[in-house]
Structure 1
């Protein structure tokens, strides 16, 4: 098992949630932290709650690196409106996120790899940058030559998530049109996300 795949399965128990709503998540059978002292209950400080919220959000989007995640926070603060809502919108505009949301692949980790390998077109042009910012009206499409990949079939059959209403998906042609930037309430997270705590963490 690769290091990334192993960490993907450990993160649920470490954070104490079924982060992606997976039926096979180890958290479903062992809803406590890993290790000898995983079942002990500890009082968590405000800082601890903020850190956990940040780790949960970073992990959900494929374990985004700290440097890049901070850049999303900084851009969210520069924009008008609610900073926590801005942060969610920026994360949902990531090309890898749109590929995952559209059920073109089964996991967010697979989405990043799928984009990296050049299997995705945006408005007819190949884009291989997972963090590419998708704009309203952009059409994201699986390369027609890659439509028969097993990974794509698994994504289409996945029951882990629902299609959000801010992305219009044509499952036959494997095309998705990004309609608008979502609010937190629009995003179909399988567990509670608290971007307001993430903002508090970075603004300390």
Structure 2
């Protein structure tokens, strides 16, 4: 399992954006980057720098998946028919931990990954603890009995800062169905994501 060991909100400050849309993000108070040189004037960013930033932002949003996993996801997207950037987003949104997050079973993507890895999530009624598992259209994702009473889950379901997207259909409070693979325009990112720049970064 991939685990982020450094401070999560440093991604926000490094990017200068609240990439998860959380009210506790330090960007809401300090828009400059972290560290003693965070406030210094920034020079012009190269094309490579812009592409790298787009990749770091997208990778960070999905729970900071490992570079190996992210690159493999890109290569798979490039082999599929259609637009590679759209395909990449579709593959990332099919991850089990992301659907748990989209269903508002967890307040953050990191909590969603933990919920899956601790065995609290069922896929078509069968327990699954692999956060990176790809969910197919029509499959049901549900909470285990114990998880339905967890404070973390109840907190997430009461969040007003985000809604459940159309491609995740709720059935009560403990079950959703992943109806289809979304397009970039349908994904409720709090900030602008640019998968086309990620494609340019990897295809150099």
- Give TM class, smaller chain: over 0.9
Q: Which residue of 2 aligns with 1:60?
A: 61
Contact 2:4–2:64, Cα closer than 8 Å, also in 1:
no
Offset at 1:11? 1.2
Offset at 1:5? 7.0
3-state SS, counterpart of residue 115 of structure 1: helix
Q: Which residue of 2 aligns with 1:180?
A: 180
Task: Please report the TM-score for the alignment, with normalisation by the length of structure 2.
Answer: 0.95
3-state SS, counterpart of residue 7 of structure 1: coil
- Matched length: 201
- 1:1-204 matched pairs, under 5 angstroms: 4=4, 7-39=7-39, 40-172=41-173, 174-204=174-204
Unaligned runs of 5+ in 1: none
Query: Could you tell me how far apart the structure 2 residues matched to 1:19 and 1:160 are?
Result: 13
Offset at 1:68? 0.4
Contact 1:20–1:160, Cα closer than 8 Å, also in 2:
no
Contact 2:103–2:176, Cα closer than 8 Å, also in 1:
yes
Unaligned runs of 5+ in 2: none
3-state SS, counterpart of residue 176 of structure 1: strand
